[in-house]
Amino acid sequence: MWEFIIRSLEASTIFIFAALGELIDQRSGVLNVGVEGVMLFGATLGFIAAQSTHSYWLGFLVGIAIGGLLGLLHGFLSITLGGDQVVNGMGLWILGFGLTTYIGNPYTGPLGMERIPTFLGLSPFFYLGIVLVAVTWFLLSRTSLGLRIRAVGENPAVAEVSGIHVTKTRYLCVTVGGMLMGLAGAIYALDYNPVWNYNFLGGWGFIALALVFFSMWNPVILLGGSLLYGTLWQLSLNPQLLLPGIMSRYLWRMVPFAATIGVLLLMATRWFRLRWGAAKPEALGKPYAKE
C-alpha cells in the first residue's frame, strides 16, 4: 500500500511538470496540443544522453533543452508565422512519435544506471514539482510578469497598447512551457520508469493537456488534478492492490482515459459553466498580428 502511494505520487509528478508547462503556454494564449510529442523527445533524448554519458544531470539537461527548442519551434510556427496552432501542435506530436520511435529503438531496454536517490522515500522531483506549482501560482497571480502573461493571453491587442511586448512574452512562455514538458518526459524515462520502449508514453501528454482544461488554468487546481490522475494511473496499472478481481487488467488500463472523457463532459455541462464561469484565456489558440 505504501509502495502504491509512493508510485502514485511519482506518476503525478510527471503530470504536474507536463501540465504546468502547458498551462504556462495557454495562459499566454498559445495552445500546444503536441505535449505528448515534446515529452517523447525529452524522454528519448534524455534517456540516450544519460545512458551514453552515465550522467543523470546531462540527461535531464538534454531533456529540458530539447523541450525548450521544440517549444520555440512551436512558438515560431504559431507566433511568428501565425499558423493554425492545432496543426502545429499535431505536427510536434507526430514528429515526436515518429522520430523518437526510430532514434530510440537501438536503446530499447533498461537504462542500466543506479536509481536516482529518493528523499524522504520519494523522488526528489515530486518536491520540485510542488515548489514549481507554488512558484507558478505566485508568478502568474502576484507579479507584474504574471499580469503581463495573463494580459497577453486574454487580449493581446489591448496588452500591446498598454506597452506589453506580446511576441516576446509569448515566446518566453512557450519556451519555458516546452522546457517543462521536455523535463516531464525526462523524469518519466530516467526516474519513474527507466526503460525505453517504443511509444512508451501512450497518452500521458494528452492527459496532461486535458488536465490543463480541468484546472481552469489555475496551477493549484492543476496540482490536485495531477495527484488524482497519478493515483488513477497507478491504480490502472496495479488494480489488484486496492480493488482485486473486479476487471481484467486490460479493462483497468482504459479507466484513466474513460475518466478523462467523463471529466471533460462534466465540465462542458451548463451547470458547470454557470457555476464555475469561463476561466479560459480569451485569446487562446488565436494568432495575433500586430496592426
Partner 1 sequence: MSTGKHRLKFEKRVTFAGWQAALISGLAIAFALALFSLIFILARINPLTAYQKMLAYAFTNRYGLPLTINRFIFLLLCTYAFIIPFRAGLWNIGMTGQFYMGALSTFAVVFAFGGKASRHADLSPELVIPLMLLAAAVGGAAFGAIAGFLRGRFNVNEIVVTMMLNSIASWLVAQMIKEGGPFMNPGGRSESFELPYAVYPPLIQEIPFTIFLALGITALLSFVLARTRIGYQIRAYGHSPQAAQYAGVSPFKIPFLVFLLGGALAGLAAYHYFAAVPGVYKISRNYGYFGDLAFYGIICGLISLGDPVAAIPVALLFGGLSIGGRFIQGELHMNFGVDYALLGVLMISLVAFQFFFRYKIVWIKTGESAHVGIHH
Site residues, partner 1 (CB under 8 A): 33, 77, 81, 83-84, 86-88, 90-92, 94-99, 101-103, 105-106, 198-199, 202-203, 206-207, 209-210, 213, 248, 250-251, 253-254, 257-258, 260-261, 264-265, 268-269
Complex with partner 1: residue 132 or 209, whichever CB lies closer: 209
Complex with partner 1: residue 123 or 231, whichever CB lies closer: 231
Complex with partner 1: residue 92 or 151, whichever CB lies closer: 92
For strand 109-110 and strand 195-196, is the pairing parallel, antiparallel, or unpaired? antiparallel
Complex with partner 1: residue 124 or 203, whichever CB lies closer: 203
Backbone φ/ψ region at 248: left (φ over 0), alpha (ψ -120 to 50), beta: beta
> In this structure, what DSSP letter does residue 122 have?
B
| Distance from chain centroid for Cα 37 | 10
Give ∠ CA 256-36-13 in degrees, rounded to 5: 60
CA distance 145 to 266: 33
Backbone φ/ψ region at 287: left (φ over 0), alpha (ψ -120 to 50), beta: beta
Complex with partner 1: residue 35 or 62, whichever CB lies closer: 35
3-state secondary structure 235-291: HHHCHHHCCCCCCCHHHHHHHHHHHHHHHHHHHHCHHHHHHHCCCCCCCCCCCCCCC
Complex with partner 1: residue 52 or 101, whichever CB lies closer: 101
Distance of closest approach, residue 157 Cβ to partner 1, in angstroms = 19
Q: What does residue 53 show for φ and ψ, rounded to 5 degrees? A: -110, -5
Distance of closest approach, residue 52 Cβ to partner 1, in angstroms = 15
Q: What is the chain's Cα-based Rg?
A: 19
CA distance 181 to 273: 29
Residue 161: how many CB atoms within 10 A of its CB?
10
Distance of closest approach, residue 116 Cβ to partner 1, in angstroms = 28
Distance of closest approach, residue 77 Cβ to partner 1, in angstroms = 6
Complex with partner 1: residue 98 or 110, whichever CB lies closer: 98
